Amino acid sequence: MNKTAFVFPGQGSQSVGMGKDLFERYSGTTDVLSAADEFLGFNIRDLCLNGPEERLNQTRNTQLAMFVVNHIAGCMLKEKSVSPGLVLGHSLGEYNAIVTAGVLGFSDALRLVQIRADLMQKAASVSPGKMIAVLGLDSDIAEKVATGNGTYIANYNCPGQVVLSGEEAKIGLTARALEKAGAKRVVELNVSGAFHSPIMQPAAEEFSKHLDMVAFEDAEIPVISNFTGYVSMDKDEIKNALKQQMTGSVRWQTSVGTALSQGVNEFVEAGSGKVLSGLIKRITADNEKVMILSVNDY
């Protein structure tokens, strides 16, 4: 019997036109979009479908759009009687995971995502930074190079792929050092700040106050945290992990490994694109029993 995990993508999976098929297929789309529009004060469907790209890629807009599309994807899967035995999400996607697990309601989570996105965009404007994806280099070597150049590992995505964050000048030096160390490619990401690094500390401290103002519930199904990479159903553990997430590394490879150790053999990417599917394929390359699906397969 298959044990299914829903995996929810985060910032970087967005594209103009995202959600179109989901909006047409899920019966509750109108209710979800109307609730989001009323709270946000703008048309989230129009942003997803028509952009423009420059607006959609602004952190405060990207995170809201991704959260809403992910939520509709998760709801549609449940409507089709696809039930997860475990949930996890990449960075922002973790908020969809905890909504799916019953830790927060949609409205509370949407409000937190809006605050999170605004704080992250503000922090990026005050302390500009960059992020780079490093391909084809062992994570231990990448860590040493990053530390030696005053930068940070933001994401442990899969074997041979990590993402680094840091100040603009230091990231440039680090990129050159990584190439000398043997990286196959170093790619600058289209983001406005050094996310998942200590540079986000002021934003994280402010966001922590907002998290404490929201009532969390114990999870109805297990949740894997980005920060720890481990399973929890305890509301306080889940909240505390979210407090650490903004400055801590996304331990995606560890998180997927934890899901496998919990008996998961089917991953369904619930959202836009197939970024997470690609990472999971790399992580589970030697496991022929694992199935990797997207919401569009249902």
For residue 198, the tally of other CB atoms under 10 A from its CB is 12
Determine how β-strand 161-167 pairs with β-strand 152-158.
Answer: antiparallel
3-state DSSP call for residue 32? helix
Copy the structure tokens of residue 179. Answer: 């190439």
Q: Is the dihedral of CA 277, 280, 282, 284 positive or negative?
A: negative
Q: Is 272 known to be catalytic? A: no
Pick from 88, 42, 84, 82: nearest CA to 65: 42
Please state, in angstroms and rounded to a whole number, the distance separating the CA atoms of residues 36 and 31: 9
Cis amide bond preceding 84, omega within 30? no
Pick from 134, 175, 138: nearest CA to 155: 134
Catalytic residue among 13, 71, 90, 91: 91
CB 227 within 8 A of CB 240: no
Determine how β-strand 4-8 pairs with β-strand 291-294.
Answer: unpaired
Q: Is 196 known to be catalytic? A: yes
Please state, in angstroms and rounded to a whole number, the distance separating the CA atoms of residues 7 and 270: 6
Copy the structure tokens of residue 283. Answer: 């992580």
Catalytic residue among 196, 232, 255, 272: 196
Residues involved in catalysis: 91, 196
